[in-house]
Amino acid sequence: MSFQAYLDNIQAKTGKTPDDFRQAAERKGFLRKGKLVDGVKAGAIVTWLHADFSLGYGHAMAIYAVFQGVKRPE
């Protein structure tokens, strides 16, 4: 599955875009000014996304990659 397919599946399942997840992560304190806060580990993001959005590990890691600055393919 391509990275874009992960993002498309996440949006289909949750109705949320990567930007929506960025805003939610800012509210949770995982991101500050669009950057991961020092010390925030992938496991914390995965746990949050599973609990709040029922995302599995692979889909949660795709969102974590977005938070790390991985760009969507054009």
- Pick 73 or 5 by higher pLDDT: 5
Is residue 44 in some structural domain? yes
Asked if pLDDT for residue 74 goes beyond 70, the answer is: no
Is residue 9 in some structural domain? yes
Query: Which is nearest to 8 in space by CA: 61, 59, 69?
Result: 59
pLDDT band at 72 (very low <50, low <70, confident <90, very high): low
Per-residue model confidence as pLDDT tens digits over 15-63: 999 999 999 999 999 999 989 999 999 999 999 999 999 999 999 999 9
pLDDT band at 2 (very low <50, low <70, confident <90, very high): confident
Is residue 24 in some structural domain? yes
pTM for the model:
0.90
Number of domains in the chain: 1
Instruction: State the Cα–Cα distance between residues 52 and 21, nearest whole angstrom.
Output: 11
Instruction: Retrieve residue 29's tokens.
Output: 């304190």
Residue 54's domain comprises 3-67
